[in-house]
Amino acid sequence: MQNKVNDIVSIYQGAVKVEDTNKLKYMIYSAHDDQIDSNMVWLTQSKASFDDIPYASQFIYELKYSESCFPTAERIQDCFGVSIAFNGTPLKLNTCNGDGFSENGTGCTWIEFWEYMNSIFYPSLNSEDLDTACYQPYNP
């Protein structure tokens, strides 16, 4: 999402043509219930796993921003927010104050979202390069 934030800021600052806004949309697709389960456990930092994942379950991550905020913001990141929904139900993360440009008060500011993701992100050897981290030989 950081790349999308950078793209939006570049458009606002005139570094990118407005016609290039179609690259702002993206989709991540996953077809396995164990990935949905893992994502929920990871996001909520719960040790509880689901017994049943409903068919066609989904997460929707929505990056939102306010153009009217850009000219007056001390930090341009303050003009962005993130909301997450699981099967259409808003998901509230523990560290977010609900100011993610969401009507239901469940979103995060961009700074809160970024800090939360960093706090739960893989914190070990080669964490800056997940390909390298994931392809380490297994040594029991």
Q: What is the DSSP letter of 82?
A: E
Residue 37 predicted with pLDDT over 80 = yes
pLDDT-wise least confident of 20-29, 67-76, 125-134: 20-29
pLDDT tens digit sequence for 45-72: 877 767 778 888 888 888 888 888 888 8
Cα–Cα distance, 42 to 69 (Å, whole number): 32
Measured between alpha carbons, how far apart are the two ends of the chain, in Å?
35
Q: How many helices (H) and strands (E) does the chain have?
A: 4, 4
The answer to whether 30 touches 61, Cβ cutoff 8 Å, is no
């380490």: which residue's tokens?
Answer: 136
With vertex at residue 18, the alpha carbon angle to CA 113 and CA 83, rounded to the nearest 5 degrees, is 20
pLDDT band at 137 (very low <50, low <70, confident <90, very high): confident
Three-class SS of residue 63? strand
Per-residue model confidence (pLDDT) at position 25: 64
pLDDT digit string, tens, across residues 71-93: 888 888 888 988 888 888 888 88
Please check the confidence at residue 100 and state whether its pLDDT lies above 80.
no
* pLDDT in the model for residue 126: 65
Report whether pLDDT(20) > 80: no
Residue 106 to residue 90: CA distance in whole angstroms:
6
Q: What is the pTM of this model?
A: 0.74
Q: Which residue has the higher pLDDT, 125 or 3?
A: 3
Is 97 in contact with 112 (CB distance < 8 Å)? yes
Mean pLDDT value across the chain: 79
Share of residues in the chain with pLDDT > 70 (%): 77
∠ CA 36-60-125, nearest 5°, is 55
Rg (C-alpha) for the chain, rounded Å, is 17
The pLDDT score that the predictor gives to residue 8 is 83
- Name the β-bridge partners of 60: 85
